[in-house]
């Protein structure tokens, strides 16, 4: 709570905004987040998850976006995946 107050108390200057925006855009630039790159990540994720459950490969969605950090570092990049499950295999039991 105290931390929240101190963060609110500090005026967010234009350079803070600049820095935050830059950091995010550079993550995309550097990762060269091309469709191919995300396809590669997607392929690997599917492989691993398929060992445990049956998923809907067609509607699997994965994106590089941003989210608010819980450690209070402001906005941080996040890899968000939406993976619809058709059936859980019994190997896990």
Partner 1 sequence: MGEVIVITSGKGGVGKTTTTANLGTGLALLDKKVVLIDADIGLRNLDLVMGLENRIVYDLVNVVEGACRIKQALIKDKRFEGLYLLPAAQTRDKNAVSPEQMVKLCDDLKDEFDYIIVDCPAGIEQGFKNAIAGADRAIVITTPEVSAVRDADRVIGILEANEIKKPMLLINRVRPDMVKKGDMMSIEDIIDILAIDLIGVVPDDENIIISTNRGEPAVAEGKSLAGQAYQNITKRLMGEEVPLIDLAGNDGFLSKMKKLFGFKSA
Phi and psi at 24, nearest 5°, equal -70, -45
Q: Cα–Cα distance between 18 and 9 in angstroms, integer? A: 19
Give the residue, chosen from 2, 3, 15, 51, that forms a contact with partner 1 under the rule CB under 8 A: 15
Residues 28-67 that bind partner 1 (CB under 8 A): 29-30
Burial of 12 (0-12, 13-18, 19+ CB in 10 A): exposed
Contact status: 9 vs partner 1 (CB under 8 A)? no
Size of residue set near partner 1 by CB under 8 A: 14
Give the residue, chosen from 1, 9, 13, 87, that forms a contact with partner 1 under the rule CB under 8 A: 13
- Give the three-class secondary structure for 1: coil
Minimum CB–partner distance for residue 60 and partner 1 (Å): 30
Q: Which two three-digit tokens encode residue 56? A: 């809907």
Please give the residue ranges that form the binding site for partner 1 (CB under 8 A): 11, 13-16, 18-19, 21-23, 25-26, 29-30
């Amino acid at each position: 709570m105290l931390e929240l107050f101190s963060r609110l108390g500090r005026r967010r200057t234009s350079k803070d905004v600049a820095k935050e925006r830059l950091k995010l855009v550079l993550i995309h630039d550097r990762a060269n987040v091309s469709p191919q790159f995300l396809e590669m990540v997607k392929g690997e994720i599917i492989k691993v998850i398929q060992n445990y459950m049956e998923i809907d490969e067609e509607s699997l969605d994965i994106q590089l976006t941003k989210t608010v950090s819980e450690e209070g570092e402001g906005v941080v990049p996040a890899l968000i995946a939406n993976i619809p499950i058709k059936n859980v295999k019994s190997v896990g039991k």
